Structure 1
Amino acid sequence: MKSIKRLLFFLTCLVGMSFSLSAQQEVTNGVARQYSIDLTKVTAPGGVTMIHWTVETKDASALDPGIALAYPDEATTNADHHIVEITWDGTVGKTYVIKATLEDGNNCISEAVSQEVIILPADGNFMFADATDIKVCSFNGAAETKTFDVTYEGVKPWKLYYRITDKDGVVKDNLVVQEGGVDKEFTTGTGTISIDIDNFFINTEATDQDWTVELIKAVSVADSHETMPKGASTKTITVHPLPVINGTIVLN
Protein backbone atom coordinates (compact mmCIF):
# COMPACT_ATOMS: atom_id res chain seq x y z
CA MET A 1 0.00 0.00 0.00
CA LYS A 2 2.84 2.36 0.87
CA SER A 3 4.45 1.63 -2.50
CA ILE A 4 1.22 2.55 -4.28
CA LYS A 5 0.98 5.80 -2.32
CA ARG A 6 4.57 6.68 -3.20
CA LEU A 7 3.85 6.01 -6.86
CA LEU A 8 0.73 8.16 -6.80
CA PHE A 9 2.64 10.96 -5.10
CA PHE A 10 5.40 10.76 -7.70
CA LEU A 11 2.90 10.89 -10.56
CA THR A 12 1.21 13.89 -8.98
CA CYS A 13 4.55 15.68 -8.81
CA LEU A 14 5.32 15.17 -12.47
CA VAL A 15 4.83 18.45 -14.28
CA GLY A 16 2.86 18.79 -17.49
CA MET A 17 5.69 18.46 -20.01
CA SER A 18 4.94 15.22 -21.81
CA PHE A 19 7.40 13.78 -24.31
CA SER A 20 7.10 15.29 -27.78
CA LEU A 21 9.18 15.48 -30.93
CA SER A 22 8.76 18.33 -33.41
CA ALA A 23 9.79 18.20 -37.05
CA GLN A 24 13.55 18.08 -37.47
CA GLN A 25 15.16 21.51 -37.59
CA GLU A 26 18.25 22.52 -39.54
CA VAL A 27 21.05 24.75 -38.32
CA THR A 28 24.24 26.03 -39.90
CA ASN A 29 27.44 24.74 -38.33
CA GLY A 30 29.06 27.28 -36.00
CA VAL A 31 26.02 29.45 -35.29
CA ALA A 32 24.38 30.04 -31.91
CA ARG A 33 20.61 29.63 -31.55
CA GLN A 34 18.32 30.25 -28.57
CA TYR A 35 15.61 27.82 -27.44
CA SER A 36 13.08 28.17 -24.64
CA ILE A 37 10.28 26.54 -22.68
CA ASP A 38 7.05 28.56 -22.47
CA LEU A 39 6.43 28.64 -18.73
CA THR A 40 2.78 29.54 -19.28
CA LYS A 41 2.30 26.09 -20.77
CA VAL A 42 3.64 23.95 -17.93
CA THR A 43 1.99 22.47 -14.87
CA ALA A 44 4.24 22.53 -11.82
CA PRO A 45 2.43 21.82 -8.51
CA GLY A 46 5.49 22.82 -6.51
CA GLY A 47 6.43 25.79 -8.68
CA VAL A 48 9.17 25.92 -11.31
CA THR A 49 12.65 25.57 -9.85
CA MET A 50 14.81 24.82 -12.88
CA ILE A 51 14.73 23.74 -16.52
CA HIS A 52 17.48 21.21 -17.22
CA TRP A 53 18.84 21.07 -20.79
CA THR A 54 20.96 18.44 -22.51
CA VAL A 55 22.10 17.92 -26.09
CA GLU A 56 22.77 14.37 -27.24
CA THR A 57 23.61 12.77 -30.55
CA LYS A 58 20.69 10.84 -31.97
CA ASP A 59 22.84 7.74 -32.39
CA ALA A 60 24.01 8.02 -28.76
CA SER A 61 27.67 8.42 -29.73
CA ALA A 62 30.05 10.72 -27.87
CA LEU A 63 28.92 14.35 -27.87
CA ASP A 64 31.02 16.84 -29.84
CA PRO A 65 32.88 19.18 -27.48
CA GLY A 66 31.91 22.14 -29.67
CA ILE A 67 28.24 21.93 -28.63
CA ALA A 68 28.18 24.59 -25.91
CA LEU A 69 25.20 25.55 -23.72
CA ALA A 70 24.81 28.97 -22.10
CA TYR A 71 22.00 30.72 -20.24
CA PRO A 72 21.51 34.40 -21.17
CA ASP A 73 20.32 36.75 -18.39
CA GLU A 74 20.93 33.96 -15.89
CA ALA A 75 21.25 36.38 -12.97
CA THR A 76 17.92 38.10 -13.64
CA THR A 77 15.03 37.00 -15.85
CA ASN A 78 16.44 33.57 -16.71
CA ALA A 79 17.41 32.25 -13.29
CA ASP A 80 15.31 29.13 -13.91
CA HIS A 81 17.12 28.49 -17.23
CA HIS A 82 13.91 28.43 -19.30
CA ILE A 83 16.01 29.96 -22.10
CA VAL A 84 19.16 28.27 -23.38
CA GLU A 85 21.62 29.35 -26.06
CA ILE A 86 23.29 26.50 -27.94
CA THR A 87 26.37 26.97 -30.11
CA TRP A 88 26.23 24.35 -32.85
CA ASP A 89 29.91 23.80 -33.51
CA GLY A 90 29.56 20.09 -34.12
CA THR A 91 29.75 17.47 -36.84
CA VAL A 92 28.23 18.41 -40.19
CA GLY A 93 25.52 15.97 -41.21
CA LYS A 94 24.99 14.60 -37.70
CA THR A 95 21.59 14.76 -36.00
CA TYR A 96 21.39 15.93 -32.38
CA VAL A 97 18.54 15.85 -29.88
CA ILE A 98 17.85 18.75 -27.52
CA LYS A 99 16.11 17.57 -24.35
CA ALA A 100 14.53 19.65 -21.60
CA THR A 101 13.12 18.54 -18.26
CA LEU A 102 11.52 20.64 -15.53
CA GLU A 103 12.28 20.38 -11.82
CA ASP A 104 9.60 21.73 -9.50
CA GLY A 105 9.64 22.90 -5.89
CA ASN A 106 8.99 19.36 -4.66
CA ASN A 107 12.17 18.15 -6.40
CA CYS A 108 10.03 16.22 -8.89
CA ILE A 109 11.30 15.95 -12.46
CA SER A 110 9.10 16.00 -15.54
CA GLU A 111 9.31 13.78 -18.55
CA ALA A 112 11.48 15.23 -21.30
CA VAL A 113 10.43 17.26 -24.29
CA SER A 114 12.81 17.05 -27.21
CA GLN A 115 13.74 18.53 -30.56
CA GLU A 116 15.90 17.03 -33.31
CA VAL A 117 18.44 19.28 -35.02
CA ILE A 118 20.71 18.42 -37.94
CA ILE A 119 23.88 20.42 -38.56
CA LEU A 120 24.47 21.56 -42.13
CA PRO A 121 27.64 23.00 -43.67
CA ALA A 122 28.54 26.57 -42.75
CA ASP A 123 29.37 27.23 -46.37
CA GLY A 124 27.59 25.51 -49.18
CA ASN A 125 28.72 25.38 -52.76
CA PHE A 126 26.74 26.43 -55.79
CA MET A 127 27.58 27.15 -59.41
CA PHE A 128 26.22 26.85 -62.90
CA ALA A 129 25.98 23.20 -63.84
CA ASP A 130 28.27 23.92 -66.79
CA ALA A 131 30.45 26.86 -67.75
CA THR A 132 29.36 26.93 -71.38
CA ASP A 133 28.30 30.34 -72.64
CA ILE A 134 25.22 30.49 -74.82
CA LYS A 135 24.01 32.30 -77.91
CA VAL A 136 20.47 33.51 -78.42
CA CYS A 137 18.55 35.46 -81.00
CA SER A 138 17.22 38.87 -80.13
CA PHE A 139 13.69 38.86 -78.75
CA ASN A 140 11.22 39.09 -81.65
CA GLY A 141 7.98 39.20 -79.71
CA ALA A 142 7.49 35.44 -79.50
CA ALA A 143 7.45 33.94 -76.01
CA GLU A 144 10.64 32.04 -75.24
CA THR A 145 12.28 30.91 -72.01
CA LYS A 146 15.94 30.21 -71.40
CA THR A 147 16.82 27.72 -68.67
CA PHE A 148 20.05 27.67 -66.68
CA ASP A 149 20.82 24.78 -64.33
CA VAL A 150 22.54 25.51 -61.03
CA THR A 151 24.03 22.79 -58.84
CA TYR A 152 23.97 23.30 -55.07
CA GLU A 153 25.30 21.64 -51.95
CA GLY A 154 24.76 22.81 -48.39
CA VAL A 155 22.15 24.66 -46.37
CA LYS A 156 18.50 24.03 -47.21
CA PRO A 157 15.88 25.26 -47.75
CA TRP A 158 17.48 28.28 -49.37
CA LYS A 159 16.95 31.19 -51.73
CA LEU A 160 19.13 31.77 -54.77
CA TYR A 161 19.84 35.32 -55.92
CA TYR A 162 21.09 36.24 -59.41
CA ARG A 163 21.16 39.25 -61.73
CA ILE A 164 21.13 39.93 -65.46
CA THR A 165 23.24 42.70 -66.99
CA ASP A 166 23.10 44.03 -70.55
CA LYS A 167 26.03 44.90 -72.84
CA ASP A 168 26.38 48.38 -71.29
CA GLY A 169 26.56 47.04 -67.74
CA VAL A 170 22.99 48.08 -66.94
CA VAL A 171 21.34 45.68 -64.52
CA LYS A 172 18.11 44.46 -66.07
CA ASP A 173 17.00 42.04 -63.39
CA ASN A 174 18.69 42.47 -60.01
CA LEU A 175 18.63 40.02 -57.12
CA VAL A 176 15.88 37.90 -58.57
CA VAL A 177 14.84 35.23 -56.09
CA GLN A 178 14.43 31.57 -56.86
CA GLU A 179 12.65 29.98 -53.89
CA GLY A 180 13.91 26.64 -52.58
CA GLY A 181 10.43 25.33 -51.86
CA VAL A 182 9.16 21.83 -51.31
CA ASP A 183 9.54 20.85 -54.95
CA LYS A 184 13.10 22.23 -55.09
CA GLU A 185 14.45 21.26 -51.70
CA PHE A 186 17.34 18.82 -51.68
CA THR A 187 16.73 16.05 -49.17
CA THR A 188 20.39 15.05 -49.24
CA GLY A 189 21.75 18.60 -49.25
CA THR A 190 22.79 18.38 -52.90
CA GLY A 191 20.93 18.76 -56.16
CA THR A 192 20.12 20.96 -59.12
CA ILE A 193 17.74 23.87 -59.50
CA SER A 194 16.75 25.53 -62.76
CA ILE A 195 16.59 29.28 -63.39
CA ASP A 196 13.98 30.05 -66.04
CA ILE A 197 14.47 33.44 -67.69
CA ASP A 198 11.97 34.82 -70.16
CA ASN A 199 13.76 35.97 -73.28
CA PHE A 200 13.85 39.74 -73.05
CA PHE A 201 17.31 39.98 -74.62
CA ILE A 202 16.83 42.66 -77.27
CA ASN A 203 19.51 43.61 -79.79
CA THR A 204 18.50 46.10 -82.49
CA GLU A 205 22.09 46.91 -83.44
CA ALA A 206 24.08 45.48 -86.34
CA THR A 207 26.48 43.32 -84.31
CA ASP A 208 26.32 40.77 -81.52
CA GLN A 209 25.89 41.94 -77.93
CA ASP A 210 27.24 40.19 -74.84
CA TRP A 211 24.92 40.08 -71.82
CA THR A 212 25.63 38.24 -68.56
CA VAL A 213 23.73 36.18 -66.02
CA GLU A 214 25.52 36.23 -62.66
CA LEU A 215 24.90 34.14 -59.54
CA ILE A 216 25.13 36.41 -56.49
CA LYS A 217 24.48 34.41 -53.32
CA ALA A 218 22.42 31.69 -51.67
CA VAL A 219 20.73 32.42 -48.35
CA SER A 220 19.60 29.87 -45.78
CA VAL A 221 15.94 30.36 -44.92
CA ALA A 222 16.53 28.84 -41.48
CA ASP A 223 19.12 31.33 -40.20
CA SER A 224 19.86 33.76 -43.09
CA HIS A 225 23.39 32.43 -43.50
CA GLU A 226 24.81 33.64 -46.82
CA THR A 227 26.92 31.52 -49.13
CA MET A 228 28.85 32.89 -52.10
CA PRO A 229 29.35 30.88 -55.31
CA LYS A 230 32.53 28.82 -55.42
CA GLY A 231 32.48 27.76 -59.05
CA ALA A 232 31.22 29.01 -62.39
CA SER A 233 29.09 31.99 -61.34
CA THR A 234 28.79 33.98 -64.58
CA LYS A 235 27.50 33.05 -68.00
CA THR A 236 27.92 35.18 -71.10
CA ILE A 237 24.85 35.40 -73.28
CA THR A 238 25.67 36.46 -76.82
CA VAL A 239 22.59 38.10 -78.32
CA HIS A 240 22.48 38.09 -82.12
CA PRO A 241 20.98 41.12 -83.90
CA LEU A 242 17.28 41.11 -84.68
CA PRO A 243 16.60 40.62 -88.40
CA VAL A 244 14.16 43.19 -89.75
CA ILE A 245 11.87 43.24 -92.79
CA ASN A 246 11.81 46.87 -93.85
CA GLY A 247 9.28 46.46 -96.62
CA THR A 248 5.69 45.28 -96.67
CA ILE A 249 3.89 42.30 -98.12
CA VAL A 250 3.10 43.00 -101.76
CA LEU A 251 0.85 41.22 -104.18
CA ASN A 252 2.74 39.59 -107.02
Structure 2
Amino acid sequence: MTPPPPGTVILSPHFDDAALSLAGLIPRLPGPVTVVTVYGGEPASHHRVSWWDSVCGFSTAREAYRSRLTEDARACALMGVGSVALDHPDGPYADGTPLTAIDAYLAEQPSDTLLLIPVSTNQSDHQKVRDRALAVTAKLGRATPMFYADLPYTGHLDEWGSAGADDALGRSHQYGLAYQDMASRHDLRLEHELTLTDEQWALKRAAVLCYGSQLAALTIDHGMVMARNGPLRAERVWAVGPGAKDS
Protein backbone atom coordinates (compact mmCIF):
# COMPACT_ATOMS: atom_id res chain seq x y z
CA MET A 1 0.00 0.00 0.00
CA THR A 2 1.38 3.42 -0.97
CA PRO A 3 1.94 5.64 2.08
CA PRO A 4 0.08 8.98 2.13
CA PRO A 5 1.99 12.03 0.87
CA PRO A 6 3.83 14.05 3.51
CA GLY A 7 1.87 17.18 2.65
CA THR A 8 2.45 20.72 3.88
CA VAL A 9 2.66 22.27 7.34
CA ILE A 10 2.14 26.02 7.72
CA LEU A 11 3.40 27.46 11.00
CA SER A 12 0.94 30.23 11.84
CA PRO A 13 2.11 32.23 14.87
CA HIS A 14 -1.45 33.27 15.77
CA PHE A 15 -4.85 31.93 14.82
CA ASP A 16 -5.34 34.29 11.87
CA ASP A 17 -1.89 34.48 10.27
CA ALA A 18 -2.19 31.63 7.78
CA ALA A 19 -5.49 32.93 6.41
CA LEU A 20 -4.23 36.52 6.22
CA SER A 21 -1.01 35.50 4.49
CA LEU A 22 -1.73 32.38 2.42
CA ALA A 23 -5.44 31.73 1.89
CA GLY A 24 -5.06 32.27 -1.86
CA LEU A 25 -1.95 30.13 -2.29
CA ILE A 26 -3.03 27.21 -0.10
CA PRO A 27 -4.72 25.36 -3.02
CA ARG A 28 -1.34 25.32 -4.83
CA LEU A 29 0.50 23.64 -1.95
CA PRO A 30 0.99 19.85 -1.76
CA GLY A 31 -1.83 18.32 0.26
CA PRO A 32 -2.86 17.54 2.80
CA VAL A 33 -2.22 21.01 4.26
CA THR A 34 -2.16 21.53 8.01
CA VAL A 35 -2.16 24.93 9.70
CA VAL A 36 -0.32 24.77 13.02
CA THR A 37 -1.01 27.70 15.34
CA VAL A 38 2.04 28.07 17.55
CA TYR A 39 0.53 30.46 20.10
CA GLY A 40 -2.47 28.18 20.41
CA GLY A 41 -2.48 27.35 24.12
CA GLU A 42 -5.08 28.38 26.69
CA PRO A 43 -4.00 31.16 29.07
CA ALA A 44 -3.63 30.28 32.74
CA SER A 45 -6.50 31.42 34.94
CA HIS A 46 -4.42 34.02 36.80
CA HIS A 47 -3.91 36.20 33.73
CA ARG A 48 -5.91 39.37 33.31
CA VAL A 49 -7.13 40.14 29.83
CA SER A 50 -4.41 41.66 27.62
CA TRP A 51 -4.65 45.08 26.03
CA TRP A 52 -5.12 43.49 22.62
CA ASP A 53 -7.89 41.16 23.72
CA SER A 54 -9.59 44.00 25.58
CA VAL A 55 -9.52 46.15 22.42
CA CYS A 56 -11.07 43.18 20.59
CA GLY A 57 -13.98 43.31 23.05
CA PHE A 58 -13.20 40.48 25.44
CA SER A 59 -13.49 40.60 29.21
CA THR A 60 -11.19 37.69 30.05
CA ALA A 61 -8.19 35.97 28.48
CA ARG A 62 -9.95 32.63 28.34
CA GLU A 63 -13.03 34.13 26.67
CA ALA A 64 -10.77 35.48 23.91
CA TYR A 65 -8.97 32.17 23.54
CA ARG A 66 -12.11 30.06 23.25
CA SER A 67 -13.66 32.46 20.76
CA ARG A 68 -10.54 32.31 18.60
CA LEU A 69 -10.53 28.52 18.61
CA THR A 70 -14.06 28.60 17.21
CA GLU A 71 -13.10 31.23 14.62
CA ASP A 72 -10.09 29.17 13.55
CA ALA A 73 -12.16 26.02 13.08
CA ARG A 74 -14.51 27.89 10.73
CA ALA A 75 -11.69 29.45 8.72
CA CYS A 76 -9.76 26.20 8.34
CA ALA A 77 -12.91 24.41 7.20
CA LEU A 78 -13.45 27.07 4.52
CA MET A 79 -9.81 26.78 3.39
CA GLY A 80 -9.96 22.97 3.36
CA VAL A 81 -7.01 22.51 5.71
CA GLY A 82 -6.39 20.64 8.93
CA SER A 83 -5.69 22.59 12.09
CA VAL A 84 -3.48 22.00 15.11
CA ALA A 85 -3.11 24.34 18.09
CA LEU A 86 0.15 23.93 19.99
CA ASP A 87 0.00 24.24 23.76
CA HIS A 88 1.76 27.57 24.05
CA PRO A 89 -0.22 30.62 25.22
CA ASP A 90 -0.13 33.84 23.23
CA GLY A 91 2.60 36.38 24.00
CA PRO A 92 0.91 38.36 26.80
CA TYR A 93 0.09 35.12 28.62
CA ALA A 94 3.23 33.09 27.90
CA ASP A 95 5.10 33.79 31.16
CA GLY A 96 8.41 33.70 29.28
CA THR A 97 8.25 30.01 28.41
CA PRO A 98 10.22 28.95 25.29
CA LEU A 99 8.50 27.66 22.18
CA THR A 100 9.41 24.03 22.85
CA ALA A 101 6.10 22.75 21.48
CA ILE A 102 7.46 23.49 18.01
CA ASP A 103 10.37 21.10 18.64
CA ALA A 104 8.18 18.13 19.47
CA TYR A 105 5.68 18.75 16.69
CA LEU A 106 8.27 19.10 13.93
CA ALA A 107 10.23 16.07 15.14
CA GLU A 108 7.09 13.96 14.67
CA GLN A 109 6.57 15.01 11.03
CA PRO A 110 7.95 13.06 8.04
CA SER A 111 11.31 14.43 7.01
CA ASP A 112 10.01 15.41 3.56
CA THR A 113 7.06 17.44 4.84
CA LEU A 114 6.98 20.86 3.20
CA LEU A 115 7.25 23.46 5.95
CA LEU A 116 6.28 27.12 5.56
CA ILE A 117 7.24 29.72 8.17
CA PRO A 118 6.78 33.50 8.32
CA VAL A 119 9.56 35.75 7.06
CA SER A 120 8.61 37.85 10.11
CA THR A 121 8.12 41.40 8.91
CA ASN A 122 7.87 43.82 11.84
CA GLN A 123 6.34 41.33 14.29
CA SER A 124 8.32 39.97 17.23
CA ASP A 125 6.10 36.92 17.88
CA HIS A 126 6.50 35.90 14.25
CA GLN A 127 10.27 36.26 14.54
CA LYS A 128 10.34 33.97 17.57
CA VAL A 129 8.42 31.32 15.64
CA ARG A 130 10.65 31.70 12.58
CA ASP A 131 13.90 31.48 14.53
CA ARG A 132 12.75 28.49 16.58
CA ALA A 133 11.62 26.61 13.48
CA LEU A 134 14.92 27.30 11.72
CA ALA A 135 16.88 26.07 14.73
CA VAL A 136 14.79 22.92 15.09
CA THR A 137 14.90 21.95 11.40
CA ALA A 138 18.67 22.49 11.35
CA LYS A 139 19.08 20.29 14.43
CA LEU A 140 16.92 17.59 12.82
CA GLY A 141 18.93 17.77 9.60
CA ARG A 142 15.87 18.81 7.60
CA ALA A 143 15.70 21.11 4.61
CA THR A 144 15.40 24.81 5.36
CA PRO A 145 11.69 25.74 5.39
CA MET A 146 10.09 28.02 2.86
CA PHE A 147 9.34 31.57 3.97
CA TYR A 148 6.00 33.27 3.43
CA ALA A 149 5.37 37.00 3.48
CA ASP A 150 3.37 37.60 6.62
CA LEU A 151 0.41 39.86 5.96
CA PRO A 152 -0.72 42.51 6.48
CA TYR A 153 2.77 43.56 7.64
CA THR A 154 4.75 42.96 4.43
CA GLY A 155 1.82 44.04 2.29
CA HIS A 156 2.18 47.72 3.15
CA LEU A 157 5.16 47.98 0.81
CA ASP A 158 4.25 50.39 -2.01
CA GLU A 159 5.40 47.87 -4.63
CA TRP A 160 3.46 44.98 -3.08
CA GLY A 161 1.73 42.89 -5.72
CA SER A 162 4.09 44.04 -8.48
CA ALA A 163 6.97 42.30 -10.25
CA GLY A 164 9.38 44.56 -8.37
CA ALA A 165 8.29 43.50 -4.89
CA ASP A 166 11.45 41.52 -4.05
CA ASP A 167 13.75 44.30 -5.21
CA ALA A 168 11.74 46.78 -3.15
CA LEU A 169 11.91 44.55 -0.07
CA GLY A 170 15.66 44.40 -0.55
CA ARG A 171 15.82 48.19 -0.27
CA SER A 172 13.12 49.00 2.26
CA HIS A 173 14.12 49.93 5.80
CA GLN A 174 10.47 49.96 6.85
CA TYR A 175 9.09 46.67 5.51
CA GLY A 176 12.10 44.77 4.18
CA LEU A 177 14.46 44.21 7.13
CA ALA A 178 13.27 40.67 7.87
CA TYR A 179 13.48 39.73 4.19
CA GLN A 180 16.95 41.25 3.98
CA ASP A 181 18.04 39.33 7.07
CA MET A 182 16.88 36.00 5.63
CA ALA A 183 18.32 36.79 2.19
CA SER A 184 21.70 37.48 3.79
CA ARG A 185 21.68 33.98 5.34
CA HIS A 186 19.90 31.95 2.66
CA ASP A 187 19.67 31.81 -1.12
CA LEU A 188 16.06 32.98 -1.42
CA ARG A 189 14.27 32.21 -4.68
CA LEU A 190 10.68 33.17 -5.42
CA GLU A 191 8.60 29.99 -5.35
CA HIS A 192 5.02 31.31 -5.42
CA GLU A 193 3.56 34.72 -6.18
CA LEU A 194 -0.11 35.47 -6.46
CA THR A 195 -2.10 38.63 -6.99
CA LEU A 196 -5.59 37.43 -6.19
CA THR A 197 -8.33 37.41 -8.80
CA ASP A 198 -11.79 38.59 -7.77
CA GLU A 199 -12.84 34.97 -7.23
CA GLN A 200 -9.75 34.17 -5.14
CA TRP A 201 -10.20 37.37 -3.16
CA ALA A 202 -13.82 36.48 -2.35
CA LEU A 203 -12.70 33.12 -0.94
CA LYS A 204 -9.86 34.70 1.04
CA ARG A 205 -12.12 37.43 2.37
CA ALA A 206 -14.57 34.81 3.62
CA ALA A 207 -11.79 32.96 5.47
CA VAL A 208 -10.34 36.14 6.99
CA LEU A 209 -13.78 37.34 8.10
CA CYS A 210 -14.04 34.21 10.24
CA TYR A 211 -11.54 35.94 12.54
CA GLY A 212 -13.94 38.82 13.07
CA SER A 213 -13.00 39.37 16.70
CA GLN A 214 -9.62 40.79 15.65
CA LEU A 215 -10.42 42.76 12.51
CA ALA A 216 -11.45 46.00 14.20
CA ALA A 217 -8.27 45.99 16.28
CA LEU A 218 -6.14 45.30 13.19
CA THR A 219 -7.32 48.54 11.66
CA ILE A 220 -5.56 50.48 14.44
CA ASP A 221 -2.18 49.70 12.90
CA HIS A 222 -3.15 48.53 9.42
CA GLY A 223 -5.90 50.87 8.28
CA MET A 224 -7.99 49.51 5.41
CA VAL A 225 -6.82 45.96 5.95
CA MET A 226 -9.85 44.44 4.20
CA ALA A 227 -9.78 46.77 1.19
CA ARG A 228 -9.79 44.95 -2.16
CA ASN A 229 -6.51 46.65 -3.10
CA GLY A 230 -5.13 46.61 0.42
CA PRO A 231 -2.20 44.71 1.94
CA LEU A 232 -3.88 41.28 1.63
CA ARG A 233 -4.28 41.45 -2.17
CA ALA A 234 -1.05 39.60 -3.02
CA GLU A 235 0.79 36.64 -1.48
CA ARG A 236 4.40 35.54 -1.76
CA VAL A 237 6.51 32.49 -0.79
CA TRP A 238 10.27 32.04 -1.10
CA ALA A 239 12.17 28.76 -1.21
CA VAL A 240 15.83 28.27 -0.33
CA GLY A 241 18.65 26.98 -2.49
CA PRO A 242 18.89 25.29 -5.89
CA GLY A 243 15.71 24.10 -7.54
CA ALA A 244 13.46 26.90 -6.41
CA LYS A 245 11.35 28.40 -9.15
CA ASP A 246 8.93 31.20 -9.90
CA SER A 247 5.33 30.13 -10.40
TM over 0.5: no
Report the TM-score when normalising by structure 2: 0.24
- Greater RCO, CA 8 A, separation 6+: 2
More strand by percentage: 1
Structure showing greater Rg: 1
More helix by percentage: 2
Report the TM-score when normalising by structure 1: 0.23
